[in-house]
Amino acid sequence: MVCLTELQQKFGSQIVESHFRDNRRIDISASILLPLLTSLKTEYGFNMLVDLTAVDWLEYDGATDRFSVIYLLLNLDSGERLAVRVPVNLPDAVLPSVYGLWRGADWMEREVWDMFGISFSGHPDLRRILMPEEFDAFPLRKDYPLKGRGERHNFPVITRSGS
Amino acid sequence: MTDGRVPAGVSDGLLVWPLSMPLTPVDTLETPSAEREYVWTLNFGPQHPATHTTLRLVLTLDGERVLNAVPYIGYLHSGFEKLGEHLDFNQYVTIVDRMNYLSPLANEIAWHHAVEKLLGIELTPRCKYLRTILAELMRMHDHLLNLGTTALDLGGFTAFLYFFQQREHIYDIVELASGQRFHTSYTRVGGVLFDVNTDWINRVRKFIREFPKVYDEVDRLLTKNRIFVDRTKGIGYLSRDEVINFSAVGPVARASGVERDLRRDEPYLAYADLDFDVICSRGGDCYARYLVRMQELLESLKIIEQAVENIPGGPVNIGVESDMVLPSKPSVYRSIEGLIQHFEVIMPNRGYEVPREQIYAATESPNGELGFYIVGNAETRAYRARTRPPSFIHFSMFPHMIRNHQLSDVVAVLGSINIIAAELDR
């Protein structure tokens, strides 16, 4: 088990721990994200990044931040799991990329960029992954409607004569 | 990083075939340079019979040797996660069905496993066993298709047909339980749609009796088949460290020596009561992944047999005292209490208490760890329903696995990581 006080001594006391069922989470600020994750990987044995995802808090009652990015870590030797949650706000929704720590973050960060428009500095190939290149919105944001904004109807059709 | 090549002297663990026999990809050639005139580009997909699903690869080739592969995905993206924010916990099961459509029930079980964890529901013992049997049948279902099509792509048509016939039997079993062969939408919050009867149990028993014979036949057809082994041995090698670094889990990771199986490590449903082995190999190549899947078929059969013989009696759904479950259909149609309860669960302005919390819960799906990250917002639908799709994770390793292999190995590697584009793109 990672000791919270140990982490707080290293990275300052703004680390908050919480539990729900068997999930253990820590909330941190973006400034200590990369050193904290590096330390969790190298010193505490969290060698696998199980998932990297984001939540848009726009319509959530009482939320103070716009987004959270969630890193789900796993220590394969002990089976311990830990979720690290980082708040992100507009207009500069940028986090440092963890590509250097886990290669698995490659496509996960691309998906978060594609769906939420949160960018990751230091990612070598941050392109859209699921949506087409020319798409100009971020579909999993809460202000994007379920039915879309007519992209499908206005999709440029390439005809045989026009190509 | 070894770029998909087998390092010299890699030890084999479970494998019986001598490593020196088949061809290993050329690694003695000089470093490829992109300026060479004879480097050419091949567009593979999005519609191609050997990709089995809709995905596109742009391959850079030197003759037949793959220098680089760039996957383009998203052709089947249909906003499943966005839909998950608009459908309630029972409705969304129809959508998760369509993610990994080779094992739809495994997705349903994973989804409701996460939802029930969020709501704090403890299932009845009978439901736990029933879901375990179905989850293992789905594992067999998925592996049978994967092994069959891998053999098909590599020229072995017979094994494909033999295994497909067994899949039909599993379809029949699933149809008998849920009324649907394919997209069953069988699980509900706190239970399943209907209970199963003795006929169903007997049908499962019959399948358990008959399956080993076909398994032996396919085993004899493929496992020591010179052509099949040549095409898979030493192809798409992944070391243990690479697998961990790439976040891979499931059969792909276990074939590279990662001893991780959620059924054993974080037991859910009835797995804690059942006796089974976690199949691992140190081979790390396509052949090792084939062997792991073949062995897992037998382990699944073992689990199903134990679960079927020990399935407890009693109700299959938790009682309607918990206001979160749908009452049975007969009581909805024949009693006023049932009808009221049904309305209480279904109507958007009624509903039940959902914690304003976030949870990640995962199950061992046939392809690996299938997890859901759910955010609850006091509504009977998820505020955010993130899927952790194993296909997505595995496909990101593909360029790394295929580099320096031959063009014909593309289908072998694709088959061995079992990419399902509907789950890949969601």
Strands A23-27 and A119-121: unpaired
B384, β-bridge pairs: B375
> pLDDT tens, B27-58?
434 445 555 667 888 888 787 777 677 888 88
* Residue from A18, A19, A21, A134 to probe the interface with B (highest B Cβ count within 10 Å): A21
State ipTM: 0.91
- Which domain range does residue A89 map to? 4-121
* Token pair of B153 as six digits: 């792509």
Q: How many domains are contained in chain A?
A: 1
- Give the pLDDT of residue B109: 93
- Residue B24 scores a pLDDT above 60: no
What is the rounded distance in angstroms from the CA atom of residue B256 to the CA atom of residue A154?
47
Is residue A37 in some structural domain? yes
What is the rounded distance in angstroms from the CA atom of residue B187 to the CA atom of residue B121?
14
Mean pLDDT, residues B257-285: 89
Is residue B319 in some structural domain? yes
Do residues B265 and B258 lie in contact, with contact meaning Cβ atoms separated by under 8 Å?
Answer: no
Q: From the CA of A95, how many Å to the nearest CA of chain B?
A: 20
Is residue B162 in some structural domain? yes
Is residue A152 in some structural domain? no
Percent of chain B residues past pLDDT 90, beyond the cut: 30
Q: How many domains are contained in chain B?
A: 1
Query: What angle do helix axes B104-119 and B125-153 make, rounded to 10 degrees?
Result: 140
- Give the pLDDT of residue B14: 40
- Residue B23 scores a pLDDT above 60: no
- Give the pLDDT of residue B18: 35
* Residue from A50, A111, A112 to probe the interface with B (highest B Cβ count within 10 Å): A50
Is residue B7 in some structural domain? no
Nearest CB neighbour to B246, from listed A21, A103, A111: A103
Neighbours of A63 (CB within 10 A): 15
Identify the residue with better confidence: B13 or B162: B162
B-chain CB neighbours of A81 within 8 Å are 360
- Which domain range does residue B340 map to? 80-425
Kindly report the CATH number assigned to the domain that includes residue B110. Answer: 1.10.645.10
* Residue from A103, A109, A146, A155 to probe the interface with B (highest B Cβ count within 10 Å): A103
What is the rounded distance in angstroms from the CA atom of residue B4 to the CA atom of residue B352?
51
Do residues B106 and B366 lie in contact, with contact meaning Cβ atoms separated by under 8 Å?
Answer: yes
> pLDDT tens, B169-180?
999 999 999 888
Q: A48 in contact with B at a CB cutoff of 8 Å?
A: yes
* Token pair of B186 as six digits: 């069988």
Q: A51 in contact with B at a CB cutoff of 8 Å?
A: yes
Residues of chain A with pLDDT under 50: none
Give residue B138's pLDDT band: very low, low, confident or very high (50, 70, 90). Answer: very high
* DSSP designation for B312: -
Contact B357 A20 (CB under 8 A): yes
Is residue B287 in some structural domain? yes
Q: Residue B177 burial by CB count (10 A; 0-12/13-18/19+): exposed, middle or buried? A: buried
Confidence (pTM): 0.88
Kindly report the CATH number assigned to the domain that includes residue A28. Answer: 3.30.460.80
Q: B360 in contact with A at a CB cutoff of 8 Å?
A: yes
What is the rounded distance in angstroms from the CA atom of residue A50 to the CA atom of residue A71?
8
- Residue B19 scores a pLDDT above 50: no
Q: From the CA of B264, how many Å to the nearest CA of chain A?
A: 11
B-chain CB neighbours of A131 within 8 Å are 74, 77
What is the rounded distance in angstroms from the CA atom of residue B133 to the CA atom of residue B138?
9
A-chain CB neighbours of B117 within 8 Å are 21
Do residues B138 and B313 lie in contact, with contact meaning Cβ atoms separated by under 8 Å?
Answer: no
Is residue B34 in some structural domain? no
* Token pair of B260 as six digits: 């991780």
Compute the residue count for chain A: 163
What is the rounded distance in angstroms from the CA atom of residue B56 to the CA atom of residue A111?
17
What is the rounded distance in angstroms from the CA atom of residue B345 to the CA atom of residue B338?
11
Where does B21-139 show beta strands of DSSP type E? 39-44, 56-62, 65-72
Is residue B25 in some structural domain? no
* Token pair of A107 as six digits: 């496509």
Is residue A68 in some structural domain? yes
Interface size between A and B, measured as CB pairs under 8 A: 98
Give residue B328's pLDDT band: very low, low, confident or very high (50, 70, 90). Answer: confident
- Give the pLDDT of residue B8: 44
Mean pLDDT, residues B336-345: 87
Is residue B27 in some structural domain? no
What is the rounded distance in angstroms from the CA atom of residue A146 to the CA atom of residue A136?
16
Q: A106 in contact with B at a CB cutoff of 8 Å?
A: yes
Identify the residue with better confidence: B322 or A94: A94
Is residue B87 in some structural domain? yes
Q: Residue B275 burial by CB count (10 A; 0-12/13-18/19+): exposed, middle or buried? A: exposed
A104: left (phi over 0), alpha (psi -120 to 50) or beta: alpha
What is the rounded distance in angstroms from the CA atom of residue B131 to the CA atom of residue A17?
34
What is the rounded distance in angstroms from the CA atom of residue B70 to the CA atom of residue A82?
32
* Token pair of B392 as six digits: 């997505």
